[in-house]
């Protein structure tokens, strides 16, 4: 219990420090001004969400290969945590876009592929509610999870392959791209904070999945009597 | 600072989503723990 509280304190503390750095340490962007500070929350949440979906993908593959329920628990855990992070991305993006683009939303390649990603993992979670038999539910959702992950590299590549409305990449964007060194440090600190927060959520959500399994075993035992 | 309301809204919404997600995990876990305790009691009473 103490370890969980410490983990929570570290995650929350890091997120608070990251926000402080985004507001007070990062220099103001020349053309967009202060509104650019949303980028530190928006992009770092996106990176953490996609990393979480990668963990989900690995867990899904491991389930298909090994058929151990623990991989299924990790898969659903990571899918749910990833959906929370991508929800933040989809909500904070329009708040930045309105003053900068003059519109809340457009069906640009990056925005559309991110929205599709969110829908795919919502479907992954819904699919699990439709199937009662645990092994069948685990296998079908693992197969669907592997399919859903195809969209993650599309989201990554969308701003590189198709130049539409979304700003060009500032990290791994090739020649002519990049961030001011001070902004870069703040951005990577935010990325670290969001990944620690995601790991904390994964640890907590995994315990819930394990408790579900324990409750199911006890329910069966009670019914058998 | 221009657009301060938008920045404030973005951070509040972002943290709000994380808080709601965590609160839902805590609530579901505590409900399940009570159910597990109840089931354990029922089973031990039947023994």
> Token digits for A127?
């699919």
Q: Establish, for the pair of chains A and B, how many residue pairs have beta carbons separated by less than 8 Å.
A: 91
Question: pLDDT of A137-191, one tens digit each?
Answer: 999 999 999 999 999 999 999 988 888 888 877 777 777 777 788 999 999 999 9
The CA distance from A43 to A223, in Å, is 49
Torsion sign, CA atoms B21, A20, A203, A47: positive
Mean pLDDT (whole number) for B3-15: 92
Q: Is the pLDDT of residue A31 over 90?
A: no
Q: Chain B contacts of A81, Cβ < 8 Å?
A: 21
Question: pLDDT of A99-123, one tens digit each?
Answer: 999 999 999 999 999 999 999 999 9
Q: Chain B contacts of A41, Cβ < 8 Å?
A: 10-11, 14
CA–CA min distance A165, chain B (Å): 20
Percent of chain A with pLDDT over 90: 78
Q: Chain A contacts of B30, Cβ < 8 Å?
A: none
Is B42 at the interface with chain A, CB within 8 A? yes
CB-count exposure of residue A157 (10 Å: 0-12, 13-18, 19+) = middle
How many Cα atoms occupy the beta-carbon half-sphere of A16 within 13 Å?
6
Q: Is the pLDDT of residue B43 over 90?
A: no
B4, B5, B6, B13: which to substitute to probe chain A, counting the most A Cβ within 10 Å? B6
Domain ranges of chain A: 40-169+177-224
pLDDT value at residue B47: 67
Least CB–CB distance from A221: residue in B11, B28, B43: B43
Q: Chain A contacts of B18, Cβ < 8 Å?
A: 15, 84, 88, 197, 201
Q: Is the pLDDT of residue A18 over 90?
A: yes
Q: Which residue has the higher pLDDT, A22 or A179?
A: A22
């Amino acid at each position: 219990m103490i370890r969980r509280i410490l983990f929570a304190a570290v995650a929350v503390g890091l997120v608070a420090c990251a926000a402080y750095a985004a507001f007070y340490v990062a220099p103001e962007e020349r053309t967009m001004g202060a509104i650019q500070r949303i980028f530190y929350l928006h992009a770092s949440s996106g990176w953490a969400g996609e990393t979480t979906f990668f963990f989900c993908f690995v867990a899904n593959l491991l389930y298909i290969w090994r058929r151990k329920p623990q991989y299924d628990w990790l898969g659903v855990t990571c899918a749910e945590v990833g959906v929370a992070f991508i929800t933040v991305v989809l909500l904070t993006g329009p708040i930045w876009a309105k003053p900068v683009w003059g519109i809340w939303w457009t069906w640009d390649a990056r925005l559309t592929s991110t929205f599709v990603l969110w829908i795919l993992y919502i479907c992954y979670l819904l699919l699990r509610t439709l199937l009662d038999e645990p092994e069948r539910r685990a296998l079908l959702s693992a197969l669907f999870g592997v399919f859903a992950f195809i969209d993650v590299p599309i989201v990554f590549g969308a701003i590189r392959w198709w130049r539409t409305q979304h700003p060009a990449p500032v990290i791994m964007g090739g020649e002519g791209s990049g961030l001011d060194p001070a902004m870069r440090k703040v951005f990577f600190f935010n990325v670290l904070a969001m990944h620690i927060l995601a790991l904390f959520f994964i640890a907590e959500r995994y315990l819930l999945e394990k408790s579900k399994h324990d409750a199911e075993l006890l329910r069966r035992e009670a019914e058998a009597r | 600072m221009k657009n301060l309301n938008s920045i404030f809204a973005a951070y509040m919404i972002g943290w709000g989503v994380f808080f709601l997600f965590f609160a839902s995990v805590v609530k579901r876990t505590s409900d399940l723990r009570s159910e597990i305790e109840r089931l354990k009691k029922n089973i031990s009473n039947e023994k």
